[in-house]
Structure 1
Amino acid sequence: MKITQFPHNKLRIAVLLAVGVTPGLLLADTEVTALGSIDVVGILPKKLDGVPGSFAIIDRADLEQRRAFSVEETLNTVPGIHVVGENTMGLGVNIGMRGLDPRRSSRTLLLEDGMPLFLGPYGDPSAHYTTPTERVDTIEVVKGSGQVLYGPQTIGGMINFVTQPVPENGREGSVTASVGNNNYTGIAATIGAGNEKGGVRLDVIKKQGDGIRTNHDFDVSEYTLKGKLNLNDKQTLTAKVSQFTEDSHVSETGLGTVEYAEDPFQAPTGKNDRFEQERTTAQVQHTLEINDKAKLSTQAYYVDNSRASFRQTNEPGSLDGRSVMDRCEDLGVATEENAELCGGRWRPRDFQYWGIEPRLDISHNAFGVENEAVIGMRYHKETQERNQFRGADPRFQDKDYATSFVGVNGGTGHREQIDIDLDAKSYYAQNTSHLGDWSITPGVRVEDLTINTDVKRAEGQPQNNPESQLSNKQTKVLPGFGVAWNGKEKTTVFAGVHKGFAPPRPDRDISADGADSAVVSNTKPEESTNWELGVRSKPKPGITTEATVFHTDFDEVVIQDNGRFFNGGKTQQNGVELAGRVDFGVLNNTSSNVYLQGSYTHLANAKFKTDVADEDILSGNRMPYAPKHLASVNLGYEHPNGLDARIGVNHVSEQFADGANTTVENESGEEGTIPAYTLLNASLNYKPGNSKASYFISAENLADKEYLASRVDGKTAGRGRQIMGGVSFDF
């Protein structure tokens, strides 16, 4: 397959225009400027003052100071980000940006060293995995117009987890052990060695404990091997392989209203409910420094992810506010006792994808102007096999027994099989021109994808009618434009606009009623137009500030409502983000430091602009899971003897759980508002003198506040008080 050819001549011309060069310029012997260092695993450039959009960087020091229990708590301090903490340990994370649905982070592009992390980046962008903070060197959060270089999910923003580097000066290693309440234990160990020729690094992580709800214990482990080889003074090869395993007793269904009132942390079927995941990845990056003016980097990746979930309750609160056993309604309400007497539903799903992406970074002086250009493309191949098996027999609790019913029709047996094959070609180009105090950055991205969906089984019956198979082809041109002004020292004013894009979700476009009746709809991708205007500044040493105004217009948005997904028409989101930090030790030139750090998001509007009659959504209604106010404030103290202490609060205002803006709670708990809540957190670190050991303790929800986190598939409580302490030793 020839993947370097653009789908249309117009697209080829658009890309060339975006980088500010003519087709002959790249081949001509033109004057170029020296190319700065390019980090092939980071998504932000080295020269941050020219970035024409809002971003945030959380470095290793920040991570060690916060000692967050999971990545979710770490990201709560970034303005514009809304995290729904319905799970534990960051498993199945829910991250939303600027009013977009946070469910499984499907509207936020998650990357590790530039590699997508979703189950299926195009076909099923659900985040059941994020890079453990123990392996992370830097977290990059990008919400501005520079997103044309990445995809496919670009309607909200991007988060890139840059992993820790391979050692370069001999042997390095560390071991961190931690324990906490709720039977939590964790260990993270790393060892590596390297020199000027390259090196290797091995990371081992093991965590287990009890979850938010009773019987929701979890056990996760990960092994990662990363190597780097300097082939010569111009070529570097980096490779990484990783194996992640999760075994959790997590009920994907929440509680009905009566159950929640009795005990919000109960999970009657939790002992039998399961979520199992095995994730194997490989990533290779080759960098060729052609000269001091151009660098070619090529990335290849492969991901094999198998996940299987089992649930015994499918509809919460279906019996006067209490849940009943799926397939075993005759047993009455769900309890631990009758859960042992019933089967349920297994949903095994297999995902594989791979891709290759060459990218050329070049500095040039076209037309006498200093420029930095990026040209690249990516070919991505993705397959999915989605199955479902169900039965009342308690032997269905065993996955092997349940999957032995493959091909069996009816209410007991093989309920669903959907095979999805996807090819995606992406082309992108961007050029930054530096004109005095101005940096001007036009860019364009082209997404050309084909989704082949084959519904082989639906509603427990075989499907072989013509409508059960569909090839959905889409080509989208996604331009972006940004500008930054640095006319005042240590201050950047920026503005930008870009087209956002989210591919159609094939698993959501299917309806069936009996054998040979399946219909796959040919839906269009979601598209948005994202605007922002902001300023970031360091007015004096010890003070940093940032303010951003944003506006997003959405066409054909897809939202989730009571666990279903449907088209919500046009929406609009706008608001303001504020962030800042004051280090009084720097201001007063003292050895110790008291600091105040805060962020605030005011989502003034997050509303539907069109009626959706079938869903009781009216124009002007507020979007679900889009709180108007998000705030984070942290007060800390750092002493030169190695002690630092921090206390903070996170606030989330009231939210609607559905597009109809229902305020009266129904029996299932899926409708109604989600009240506002404020959570207290704290951390304490101590590393005495030149000691290789450091000690820490951290707490989330320190006041043990009871709060409602989500109404998706029923009421789900947020995590209670979680305290974790430990020791880290470097060698």
Structure 2
Amino acid sequence: MSFKRKLIVSLVASLLAQQAFAEDAKNIKSKEVSLDVVTVKGILPDRLESVPGSFAVVDEKELEVRRPFSIKEALNTVPGVNIVANEDPLGLALNIGIRGMDPRRTARTLLMEDGMPLHLAPYGDPSAHYSTPLERVGRIEVVKGSGQILYGPQTVGGMINFVTKPVPRNGLAGSVMATGGNNDFWGLHGNVGYGTERGGFMIDALKKKGDGIRDNHDFDVQEFTIKSEVDLTDSQTLIAKVGYYEEDSHVSETGLGTIDYANNKFQAPTGKNDRFQHERKSIQLQHILKVDEGIKLSTNAYYIDSWRSSYRQTDTAGGWDDEFGTATGVTAIDRDGAPGCDISTPNACGGRHRPRSYQVWGIEPRVDFSHKLFGLDNDAVVGFRYHDEDIQRDQFRDDSPLTINDLAWTKANGTHRESLHHTVKAQSAYVQNTFHINDWSLTPGLRVEKFKTKQSILVAGSDPIGPDGAPGGVGGLHGTKSQTEVLPGLGATWSGIANTTVFGGIHRGFAPPRPDRDLASDPITGNFVTDKTTPELSTNFELGLRSKYFKGISFESTLFHTKFDDIVIKSVAGSYVNAGEAAMSGLEFAGRVDFGTIYNTAHNVYLVGSYTNLFTAKFKKDGLNTTDGVIAGNRLPYSPKHLASVSLGYQHPVGIDARVGADFVSSQEPDAYTNGSLFAPGMALLAGYAGTIPSYTLFNASINFKPVNSKATYFLSGHNLTDKEYLASRVDGMFAGRSRQVFGGVKLDF
């Protein structure tokens, strides 16, 4: 049975079951229940004071005030969140780390849109090359505590859910927005919808273009979304959403060596030819049945078809030679066999294409209900999810310049370097119950992750692979692995002080194995293997306080500790390895003061800030292999000790909101393997992979003006206002951070 047919059958079965519940609800004559129109919300419950752990909500109003250029600025005020923007200014290739987790491709942070996964393949390839455009977002929810066990598979650090704007329910509504700025940036966004009390629809269109961070780089993205919502009955709502996204960017995923960076940190010698393309099609269906005031049954079904392909002419930074462990500090062409090919003449050189396709679908029925176990008020959640992934990864390369921007030619005439087919079938079940005991709440929960993966390596190193993984064989190497993980959690809250909650929790975290970017053979046997890494398991603790006790003042502070049994880290050439025990501990703080509320005036001066002190982020034991560079006590890569963000703003009753702010990131250490034996002495630094990443502070500001009784909003926003030059990352070489970006525009609501 095909995956589409499975999805349809599963969805129909679930809807029929819910319809049966609906019929039963109609037949309950002894209860007089007033059923309100069902509205779609995010993942956080209505009773926020009972959430068993730390969380943050960035709502639409805050997004409008800050006018972020990308998701990096949107989440800067959330403590514990570290976003590295080193490849493109818009954050199209997301690198988000929470509480000391390696931010590379957001592999340890669960990303969702309305509860639908956003990674290319959450189990088989948890890489983030897409996030919901902020123009479609109603609010962003960030959850870091034991409440994560309701979601998955990544639960080691935190999760981010983008809640999209609802469809209109009162006639015609929409907006148009135009933006423009330096670096040849411009954007257009339009939204229009119509609705009545029984339902509605909404059409959304987005287009953005601009220059990249480095020379010869640019980005071009567009997205179209249709969302509809209809009340089938007074107690049932059906929501459907269809999306199409396309990216076509010139971006070099390889950084610079030390000499090149010193000469011109923004150069990209092959940037005009290096390219990243991404096409994403998605369908999401949600059915919500409110049986009565205490029972809600919901089903979430999704299907995502993604295709992405990158083209590179340089594969290692700084002329690094992985065979001899040497480097030159300057960029070298990877496929340089064509006549006249040189780094100064990239149009005469070849390169490599990495096309990959992903088909992901799943269905998740869930019931939320209230009950009176032990005579107490209880809120319970029980759910199950089936999730399926089908992944095809290939690599084609050739020395000919005809490979440039021509995947079809390279497939037909070049070398088929790699072919890997990967499937995942995962079942997740979860249950969570909150006991409300006067001012206390106690929330035990349990999640079970059961998944089966199958990898088939057909071609590796340009050779067909045999059943034993040896090059030159026939039939391919096929590996199947099944695993079940039981992930308990326990959270508690106390709300004995007005508008104040003390919370604490412990839960078992889980992250699937990380796939290598490129297939590599065993250095001893020369054979290729499947399932190189094992899943990550962690134990997460936290204790915190959130309060709005004082008028006009709100804050949250959390002490956290995370212990990994066998952490996964990046090794050389896009490879990943298990590195043993590791630990992260820290303190988070976020707060806001509104002086207008304190002094009862419409002229509001406000102060918003967040701070994270990650005082521990280290390996606990030496690594087994000297090549990995894992040394007990060394700091984990890309885990800055200090993160801080502060903004001072003013709101005037005529409709002006202006603010200035600053963001600080302390120094960071690069990947551990740069300390290993793969590099000859001094070569890792020369290639740009090794060396501490210095701290930096960036200033930003925004101003919004919406005249009273006007439907137009005028805005201006700027980031890195001093145009500071700074080193953002050493992943695959040295990457400079984004330069000054200023943009303005107008938005008209109707």
Which residue is 2:404 aligned to? 397
- 5 Å matches for 1:324-335? 324-328=332-336, 335=343
CA contact (8 A) 1:152 1:501 kept: yes
The answer to whether the aligner puts 1:608 opposite 2:609 as a matched pair is: no
Q: Distance in 1 between matches of 2:540 and 2:341?
A: 47
| Alpha-carbon distance, 1:457 to partner | 0.5
Unaligned segments of structure 1, at least 5 residues? 4-28
CA contact (8 A) 1:324 1:332 kept: no
| Alpha-carbon distance, 1:42 to partner | 1.1
| Alpha-carbon distance, 1:221 to partner | 0.1
Q: 1:727 to 1:566 in 2, by over 3 A?
A: same
Q: Distance in 2 between matches of 1:33 and 1:225?
A: 33
Aligned residue for 2:45, secondary structure, equals: coil
Q: Distance in 2 between matches of 1:92 and 1:603?
A: 25
The answer to whether the aligner puts 1:679 opposite 2:698 as a matched pair is: yes
How many residues are aligned here?
Answer: 700
Which residue is 2:388 aligned to? 381
Q: Distance in 1 between matches of 2:666 and 2:254?
A: 24
Q: Distance in 2 between matches of 1:317 and 1:345?
A: 18
The superposition leaves residues 616-659 of structure 1 with CA deviations (integer Å, 9 ceiling, x where unpaired) of: 32111100000000000100000010001010000000000022
- 5 Å matches for 1:712-727? 712-727=731-746
The superposition leaves residues 640-694 of structure 1 with CA deviations (integer Å, 9 ceiling, x where unpaired) of: 1000101000000000002268597611101111000000000010011111111
Q: Distance in 2 between matches of 1:33 and 1:578?
A: 43
Which residue is 2:589 aligned to? 578
Q: Distance in 2 between matches of 1:317 and 1:332?
A: 21
CA contact (8 A) 2:36 2:235 kept: no
Determine which of 629, 648, 652 is the counterpart of 2:642: 629
The answer to whether the aligner puts 1:94 opposite 2:107 as a matched pair is: no
Q: 1:209 to 1:159 in 2, by over 3 A?
A: same
- Report the AA paired with residue 700 of structure 2: N
- 5 Å matches for 1:227-238? 227-238=228-239
- 5 Å matches for 1:490-569? 490-507=499-516, 511-512=520-521, 517-521=527-531, 523-562=533-572, 563-569=574-580
TM-score if structure 2 supplies the norm length? Answer: 0.90
- 5 Å matches for 1:52-451? 52-86=52-86, 87-318=88-319, 320-328=328-336, 335=343, 337-405=344-412, 412-451=414-453
Q: Distance in 2 between matches of 1:679 and 1:75?
A: 15
The superposition leaves residues 525-574 of structure 1 with CA deviations (integer Å, 9 ceiling, x where unpaired) of: 11000000000011212000111000000011101245432111110000
Q: Distance in 2 between matches of 1:344 and 1:650?
A: 38
Q: Distance in 2 between matches of 1:215 and 1:436?
A: 62
The superposition leaves residues 466-502 of structure 1 with CA deviations (integer Å, 9 ceiling, x where unpaired) of: 4521101110000000000000101000000011001
Q: 1:38 to 1:95 in 2, by over 3 A?
A: farther
| Alpha-carbon distance, 1:403 to partner | 4.2
The superposition leaves residues 693-725 of structure 1 with CA deviations (integer Å, 9 ceiling, x where unpaired) of: 110000010000000001011100000000010
- 5 Å matches for 1:630-709? 630-659=643-672, 666-709=685-728
Unaligned segments of structure 2, at least 5 residues? 4-28, 320-326, 470-476, 676-680
Q: 1:210 to 1:440 in 2, by over 3 A?
A: same
> Share of identical aligned residues, percent?
55
The superposition leaves residues 167-191 of structure 1 with CA deviations (integer Å, 9 ceiling, x where unpaired) of: 0111001001000000000011000
Q: Distance in 1 between matches of 2:43 and 2:79?
A: 19
Which residue is 1:487 aligned to? 496
CA contact (8 A) 1:142 1:158 kept: yes
Determine which of 471, 477, 483 is the counterpart of 2:486: 477
| Alpha-carbon distance, 1:401 to partner | 3.6
- Report the AA paired with residue 660 of structure 2: I
| Alpha-carbon distance, 1:404 to partner | 2.7
The superposition leaves residues 338-373 of structure 1 with CA deviations (integer Å, 9 ceiling, x where unpaired) of: 100001010000001100000000100112010000
Q: 1:79 to 1:30 in 2, by over 3 A?
A: farther
Q: 1:687 to 1:331 in 2, by over 3 A?
A: farther
Which residue is 1:6 aligned to? none
| Alpha-carbon distance, 1:511 to partner | 3.8
Aligned residue for 2:49, secondary structure, equals: helix
Between stretches 698-707 and 81-90, larger displacement belongs to 81-90
Q: Distance in 1 between matches of 2:42 and 2:429?
A: 19
Q: Distance in 2 between matches of 1:320 and 1:549?
A: 45
The superposition leaves residues 59-110 of structure 1 with CA deviations (integer Å, 9 ceiling, x where unpaired) of: 0000100110011111111100001111221110111000000011111000
Q: Distance in 1 between matches of 2:328 and 2:362?
A: 50
CA contact (8 A) 1:472 1:522 kept: no
| Alpha-carbon distance, 1:519 to partner | 2.0
CA contact (8 A) 1:136 1:163 kept: yes
| Alpha-carbon distance, 1:257 to partner | 0.8
Q: Distance in 1 between matches of 2:437 and 2:148?
A: 22
CA contact (8 A) 2:547 2:554 kept: yes
Q: 1:492 to 1:39 in 2, by over 3 A?
A: farther
- Report the AA paired with residue 672 of structure 1: G
Between stretches 459-468 and 385-394, larger displacement belongs to 459-468
Q: Distance in 2 between matches of 1:414 and 1:576?
A: 49
RMSD: 2.4
Which residue is 1:589 aligned to? 600
- Report the AA paired with residue 75 of structure 1: L
CA contact (8 A) 2:567 2:579 kept: yes
Q: 1:256 to 1:38 in 2, by over 3 A?
A: farther
Q: 1:34 to 1:525 in 2, by over 3 A?
A: farther
Aligned residue for 1:586, secondary structure, equals: helix
Q: 1:383 to 1:30 in 2, by over 3 A?
A: farther
Aligned residue for 1:147, secondary structure, equals: helix
Q: 1:155 to 1:509 in 2, by over 3 A?
A: farther
TM-score if structure 1 supplies the norm length? Answer: 0.92
